[in-house]
Structures are given as structure tokens and as C-alpha cells.
Amino acid sequence: MKDLKTLTFYEELIAGTDNDCLRAAREDGRLMIGYNCNQLPEVLLDLPGCVSVRMRAPGVSSMDVGTYYMTSLNCEYCRAIVEMCFDGGYNFLDCVFDSYACSQMADAIDNIDKLGICRSSNSRFFVARVDTPIKSDENAVRHLARMCKARVLDRLHDEFGIDVSDEAILKAVEEHNRMCALLNEIGSYRKLEHPVITGYEFAVICLATYSAPHDIMIGKLRETLAELKTREADPKDAFRIRVVVAGSEVDDPDFIKMIESTGALVVADRYCFGSFPDRMEISLPSHEAGSGADNASEDLLTSICRQYVKRCQCPRHMDRNKIDQRKDYLAELVREYNADGIIVQQMNFCNFWPYERAAIAHIIPEKYDIPVLSMDRPYSSGMSGQLRTRVQAFIESTEIKRLRKGMKHA
């Protein structure tokens, strides 16, 4: 395939924590709102005058300081975030909202807050905690709405004078939806028998949407979409199998590149920083202008929180129906994107994913007859020869299974 012209733009956006788009937004007087988890409604951090920045640590090489404060027994992602803050990578943030979804990340944010790392360069800087629910029932929806009102909206309004009215929120939702619709249309090209976009390219684009103002992204995504419409796939398949990648944080597209370099095309991304389910549109029929629906039945904030709670695929949601639904969701992605298998990965020292990963590796092959490769990895794993070998072995075994299935059907 010909190179994607806009890819360099996205790659530059994600090369570091800060980028030209964020700098331009700051020059326009917009606030930089850091956050660390998809369980926190991102749209509330993208209100007019604000830009949400999902925290990650691109290019961090040494984690010595992070390791001193958090020990080598903690998740590298969390340590890398602390390290990045010490290195000044997040000095441009005006505040950080922590979802309190994971104790390790909560500790990392505590370190940032109590050691006053980011505050030294910005006296207005603050850290706010938003307790996010652990189930997906109505108690959880009400709880998230309460927390978001008091700890996000009120705080943004009181500290920075941000407009947190329903109109402002609707505007942010509308922009979010426009961006998601474009991204999903780009992503839908992965469903084709011969996709005109690779998993790596999509991972870069998707990751960029977490690192730049949505209004700027919308224009660029349109350009990319137009480019894809005329892009021609390679005549001969460069890939041997198609896979869905699932699991914990992947904020390093080189990991996807590594998988694809072995011959497995990544057609769907159900991991933190991926597009499923975080880049799904927020549907608010009763709150749309001119809908004629009874708006009094539920306030806008609760409706938004309901969507975030219901669609959450994080393994910390512990109600039994949600535990089952997560596996169904993965199987559905495999079917929809015509994948041959699932690669479920987790970062070392994660508390949640070892269990979820083990459960997926047992349940999915048994219940849905879908091959699964289960692996753990370090934070930066794009160059890992060991992981490469494991993916290669998975490709071979999946091909053999496919052949056997074909012989059976014949």
C-alpha cells in the first residue's frame, strides 16, 4: 500500500506528551486537563475552553525515579507516568482527574500530588479524585453522576470558571461524537477482506485522538478518511491471520507494529487507549435539540454517565453479568471483524488483567471456539524478540487449526 500521507502528522502528535496542537490550544487560552482512565467521562473534560489529555509516558527510557518512589514491584505504566512528571513531561497540565480505578495508578497520582511535581511549574495545578464505580447497575450510574458533578464539573467551574451548563456539555458531546464517527468510519475499513489500513496505522490515529484537541482532530480525520477512500490495498495478502488485540493499556503503537510484522493483522483494538469501547459515540436521543422527548426523566449528566458505566469493559467491573458480557463482547468483535483469533495481553504487575486474561484464555476457546494467545509484557515492548516468537507461534497454530477446520468441512 502507498504510505498514508497524514500518518506523519499523527505520529508527531503521539511522539511526546506535549505537541503542536496542544501548544496551539494553550495559546488560545484553553486549559489542559490530564486524566488517566476511560472510566472517567472524557467528554466532561472537553468542555468548551478545556482539552483532555490522557496521561501516558511515550519514550520514557529509564524509570529510576519512578521506581525509587513506587518500587520495582509496581506496574511500569504507573511508574513511567511518575517518571514522566518528574522529567517535566506534564508541566503543561492545569489539573489531573484521577478515576481511582486502580490502586497502583492511585498511588502514582498520590506521588505526583504529594511531591508537588507538576505544581512547581503551575501554581494553579491540582489533583482531583473521582471515585468510579465497580459495577454497571443503577447504583453505579447514580454514583458516577454524583461524583462527576461534585468532583469534576463543580471543580472546573469553581477553579477555572468553566461553563458546565447542559448546553456546554452537549456541545462537547457533539464534538466527541463527530470525532468518534469519523474514527469509526476509518476503523471500519479494517473489516474489509483486504483492509486499506493496517492495525498500526489505526493505533497511531486512535492514540492521537487522546492527545490532541478534538476540534483539530476532526479536520485531520476527515482528510485521512478521504485518503482511505481512494487508497488501494496490496494485491497479495501481506498477513497470514487477522487478530483482535485485547487487554490492558497499549499506548505504544510499536507493539501493534511488532504483532503485524510477524504476519498477524490487527483488525480490532479492545484495550485501554483503543477504540473499543472508548471511541463509541454517546447516544443521547432525549437530550438532542428538537427531539421532543421528555427531558425531565433523566438529567444530561446521568445519561452520559450511564453510557460510560454500561459500556465499560474494564475487568474491575465485578458483577457477574458484566463478567460474562466482556467475553461475549470480544467474541462479537471477532465475528464482526472476521478475525481468526484474539491476542490478550497485559502489562506486568497489573492487578486486574492476570485474572481476566486467564479467564479469557480458558473461556473464549471453550465457549466460542476462538484461538487465544495470552501474554504479559513490559510497558515498552515493541522490540521484544520473545513476544515476537510467541506471536509467530500463535500464527502458525491458528493457521493449522484453520486448515484442520477446512478439511473437516470439506
- Residue 362 grid coordinates: 480458558
Can you tell me which of 54, 56, 135, 377 binds other proteins, judged by CB under 8 A?
135
* Smallest gap from residue 109 Cβ to other proteins (A): 10
The only residue of 61, 114, 161, 232 in contact with other proteins, by rule CB under 8 A: 114
112 binds other proteins per the rule CB under 8 A: no
Question: What DSSP element (H or E) covers 95?
Answer: strand 95-98
Q: What is the DSSP letter of 313?
A: -
Among 8, 120, 121, 139, binds other proteins (CB under 8 A): 139
**DSSP string covering 226-244, please?**
HHHHH----SS---SEEEE
Q: Is 214 in the site for other proteins (CB under 8 A)?
A: no
The secondary element (H helix, E strand) that includes residue 266 is strand 264-271
CA distance 346 to 167: 39
Closer residue to other proteins (CB): 390 or 402: 390
Closest approach, Cβ 376 to other proteins, in A, equals: 6
Binding mask 16-35 for other proteins (x = CB under 8 A): --------------------
Query: Of the candidates 195, 315, 341, 371, which one interacts with other proteins according to CB under 8 A?
Result: 315
Among 47, 57, 70, 244, binds other proteins (CB under 8 A): 70
Contact present, 189 and 196 (Cβ < 8 Å): yes
d(CA 274, CA 187): 11
Would you count residue 170 as binding other proteins (CB under 8 A)? no
As a whole number of angstroms, the distance between CA 180 and CA 277 comes to: 11
Q: Does residue number 129 form part of the binding site for other proteins (CB under 8 A)? A: yes
Query: Dihedral of CA 22/226/205/315: which sign?
Result: positive
Does 69 engage in binding with other proteins (CB under 8 A)? yes
Taking CB under 8 A as the rule, does residue 374 contact other proteins? yes
Extract the C-alpha cell encoding 9: 502528522
DSSP letter assigned to residue 281: P
What is the smallest separation between the CB atom of 96 and other proteins, expressed in angstroms?
14
* Residues 331-370 as x/- pattern, contact with other proteins by CB under 8 A: ---------------x-xx-xx-xxxxxx-xx--------
- Grid coordinates given for 212: 490532541
The 245-284 contact track toward other proteins, x by CB under 8 A, reads: ----------------------------------------
Determine if 319 is a binding residue for other proteins (CB under 8 A). Answer: yes
> Residues 30, 119, 142, 171: which binds other proteins (CB under 8 A)?
142
Q: How far is CA 194 from the centre of its chain?
A: 25
Q: Is 327 in the site for other proteins (CB under 8 A)?
A: no
| φ/ψ (deg, to 5) at 54 | -75, 125
What is 170-216 written as a DSSP string?
A: HHHHHHHHHHHHHHHHHHHGGGSSS-SS-HHHHHHHHHHTTSS-HHH
Instruction: Choose one: 136-144, 227-235, 379-387, 400-408; the region binding other proteins (CB under 8 A).
Output: 136-144
Closest distance to other proteins from the beta carbon of 166 (Å):
22
- Alpha carbon dihedral 276, 175, 317, 14, in 10-degree steps, equals 60
When asked if residue 71 is in the footprint of other proteins (CB under 8 A), the reply is: yes
236 binds other proteins per the rule CB under 8 A = no
d(C-alpha 189, C-alpha 191), whole Å: 5
Is residue 165 within 8 A of residue 153, CB to CB? The reply is: no
Cα–Cα dist 105/391, whole Å: 29
Q: Does 107 bind other proteins (CB under 8 A)?
A: yes
Angle at 347 between CA 187 and CA 39, to 5 degrees: 60
Exactly one of 57, 60, 75, 300 binds other proteins (CB under 8 A); that residue is 75
Which residues of this chain interact with other proteins, rule CB under 8 A? 68-71, 73-75, 78, 100-104, 106-108, 110-111, 113-115, 129-135, 137, 139-140, 142-143, 146-147, 150-151, 315-316, 318-320, 323, 346, 348-349, 351-352, 354-359, 361-362, 374, 376
